[in-house]
């Protein structure tokens, strides 16, 4: 009987430790990533500059077909709507 209680206590303790470790480790980088995304939003180039840069890169890689492509900036709200439709 004492062995069963010891095993139960060990399993319970292990479960608590794993639970605390997983919940803590899953939120460790959230604050860092949030700050990083804020900096990226602040320092992002204007839409026209991004499109011009994308056209220039494509023109270097496949100059014969670069005129076949159309570029568009996808906003976060549009992206969220697309992801919502996929899910």
Q: Is the pTM of this model over 0.75?
A: no
The model's confidence at residue 9, banded by pLDDT at 50, 70 and 90, is: low
Query: What's the rounded mean pLDDT across residues 20-36?
Result: 69
Q: How far apart are CA 73 and CA 20, in angstroms?
A: 41
Q: Half-sphere exposure of 68 toward its Cβ, with a 13 Å CA cutoff?
A: 4
pLDDT at 2 over 80: no
- The first and second tokens of residue 65, run together, are 């077909």
pLDDT at 4 over 50: no
Query: What's the rounded mean pLDDT across residues 66-76?
Result: 88
Query: What's the rounded mean pLDDT across residues 40-44?
Result: 87
pLDDT at 19 over 90: no
Q: What's the farthest any 2 CA atoms get from each other in the chain? A: 80
């Amino acid at each position: 009987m004492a062995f069963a209680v010891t095993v139960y206590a060990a399993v319970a303790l292990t479960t608590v430790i794993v639970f605390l470790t997983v919940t803590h480790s899953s939120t460790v980088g959230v604050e860092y990533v949030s700050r990083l995304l804020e900096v990226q939003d602040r320092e992002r180039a204007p839409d026209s500059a991004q499109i011009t840069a994308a056209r220039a890169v494509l023109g270097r890689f496949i100059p014969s077909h670069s005129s076949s492509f159309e570029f568009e900036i996808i906003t976060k709200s549009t992206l969220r709507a697309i992801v919502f439709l996929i899910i």
